[in-house]
Structure 1
Amino acid sequence: MTRARATAIGFIAVLLWSSLALLTVATAPVPPFLLNALTFGIGGAVGLAWIVGTGGGRRLRAVSPAVLAFGIAGLFGYHALYFSALRLAPAAEAGLIAYLWPLLIVLFSGLLPGERLTRRHILGALIAFAGAALIILSRQRDAMASGAAVGLGLAFLCALTWAAYSVGSRRLGTAPTEAVAVFCLATALLSVPFHLALEETQWPQDAIGWGAVLGLGLGPVGLAFYVWDVGMKKGDIQLLGVASYAAPLLSTLALVLAGVAEPTPVLALAAALIAAGALLAARAGQGGKRHSSQP
């Protein structure tokens, strides 16, 4: 596979993740851990079928337990927080804060051995966080009344989780793409006891809801992880890293076009600040070696 083709495959993940917020909203009232179980079960089953069809099971023997545990924790933690955030807070605002992870990946990577933070990194961080602060301040009254502040807080923890997972994965070495199927299936199984202990079972209410669950499992919570893995290992990592900063803008646009979010000036400004700040931070690191992984 050529580098250009692998990069193009990796771009598919960015497009799929742009639909994550919209599809998540459409699955209501399914609670977060049950949604985790359903969607990751679908995504893992697709991967398992691919492994069986290609005979890739033997490559899984080289994956260490530490890598498996780390991958499962990353997928489980990120999506449990993400689904919870979108149930508690306005979808567009929570989604934008969750999409601070590309910026945080750049910042965290700068603290690793052999890397350094520059003034552009810091400036980019300040611009992006200004966008997040704008969201929180604009929702302050609503948050006090409806508890949306908790959702926005979970969205920020979500961003921290994926950034820590992405940067930490560099220290654990690479795993074959087949391992992603194991991550997904284990995440689905792990979500079941949490659902039974903490949530009331609520299924999608109509065909649209079930379609959204299927769409999540096949797309942003399924195929996206496999194609992103290919892009990270064989494609242009710098180019894919910068491309990931388009996800919050595309995600917000999808919510607005679907009528889920109102196209307010505050929302537009926040989206622009977050994307611009993250892009500036990414460009600051183009001169050195950077690696990102996702979400």
Structure 2
Amino acid sequence: MSRSKATATGFIAVLLWALLALFTAGSAPVPPFLLNALTFAIGGAVGVIWVLARGRMSVLRGINWKIYAFGTAGLFGYHALYFSALRLAPPAEAGLIAYLWPLFIVLFSGLLPGETLRTGHIIGALVSFVGAALIVLRNGASFESGAVPGLILAGFCALTWSGYSVLSRRLGTTPTEAVAVFCVLTALLSVPAHLMFEATIWPDTGFGWLSVLALGLGPVGLAFYVWDIGVKRGDIQVLGVASYAAPLLSTLVLIGAGFAQASWQLVAAAALITIGAGTAALASRRA
């Protein structure tokens, strides 16, 4: 697979993550860790079926347990930190800090062998971050002292996902089929977390169950498989900057579904994210 095709494949994950907010809202009132267990179980099951259909089960048996531990820590750790941050801090502020991960991917990628971090990558990431901030903070912000623990967790959340994404590139020889095991183990770890911290509440409508299924198939399923291909074989710096399109696309989807209203921030954010992504892509082309 060529570098450009792998980058395009990785961007499918960004498109799928744009549906995360819509389906998460539709899955209410299911608590976070139970939702995590259900959706990752679906995503893992789809992956296992894919592996079996290709006759690649023997590949999974040959993967070192440390890689399974790394992948599971990345998926489960990110979501555990994200959900905890949103419980302890206002969603807008916590979400903004958590969404520093694309910028961190761009910066950390400069440490990878064979990668060149150029000024255009950094400028593009910062410009796109400003665009994402316009969306996340469109209803205002108020950083209160009581929210500090949640904001700190949001920071670790951003570091966890960016670290997982960048280090995955160092595991380029590890087949993407391993992601199926990451998802299954993440689902299993989510069960005790749910039992310890949450009350069990199932979807109360047919649309709620469909939303859970859609999450497991898309944003919490296929997205992780194509993202793995993108960060291992594609242009990780362009992917990092392009990831800022997710909150923009997510907001547009919510507007289309009647969950949100259009505003001037969307137009400005679209322009900034586009300019930022274009700047980073140009920098990669020159490199």
TM-score, normalized by length of structure 2? 0.80
For residues 12-69 of structure 1, give each alpha carbon's deviation from its aligned partner in whole angstroms, at most 9, with x where no partner exists. Answer: 3332122112111221222211111010001111111222222111111332122111
> Unaligned stretches of 5+ in structure 2?
none
Question: Compared with structure 1, are the counterparts of its residues 275 and 22 closer, same or farther at alpha carbon in structure 2 (3 Å cutoff)?
Answer: farther
Distance 1:152 1:253 in 2: 26
Which residue of the partner structure matches residue 31 of structure 1?
31
Taking the TM superposition and a 5 Å limit, the aligned residue runs for 1:247-262 are: 247-262=246-261
> Unaligned stretches of 5+ in structure 1?
289-295
Distance 1:109 1:28 in 2: 37
SS at 1:140 equivalent? coil
The residue type equivalent to 2:210 in the other structure is: G
TM-score, normalized by length of structure 1? 0.78
Distance 2:96 2:255 in 1: 13
Distance 1:198 1:66 in 2: 28
SS at 2:203 equivalent? coil
- Residues 106, 285 of structure 1: 8 Å contact kept: no
Which residue of the partner structure matches residue 228 of structure 2?
229
Question: Compared with structure 1, are the counterparts of its residues 11 and 219 closer, same or farther at alpha carbon in structure 2 (3 Å cutoff)?
Answer: same
Distance 1:94 1:253 in 2: 21
Distance 1:208 1:280 in 2: 41
- Residues 245, 275 of structure 1: 8 Å contact kept: no
Distance 2:268 2:262 in 1: 10
Shift of residue 264 of structure 1? Answer: 2.7
For residues 82-128 of structure 1, give each alpha carbon's deviation from its aligned partner in whole angstroms, at most 9, with x where no partner exists. Answer: 4556677557x866664443332111112446655443344334434
Distance 1:2 1:282 in 2: 16
Which residue of the partner structure matches residue 45 of structure 2?
45
Distance 1:136 1:248 in 2: 11
Which residue of the partner structure matches residue 269 of structure 1?
268
For residues 175-208 of structure 1, give each alpha carbon's deviation from its aligned partner in whole angstroms, at most 9, with x where no partner exists. Answer: 1121111000000001111111111222222111
- Residues 102, 125 of structure 2: 8 Å contact kept: no
SS at 1:69 equivalent? helix
What is the number of residues matched between the two proteins?
Answer: 285
Question: Compared with structure 1, are the counterparts of its residues 111 and 50 closer, same or farther at alpha carbon in structure 2 (3 Å cutoff)?
Answer: closer
Question: Compared with structure 1, are the counterparts of its residues 151 and 28 closer, same or farther at alpha carbon in structure 2 (3 Å cutoff)?
Answer: farther
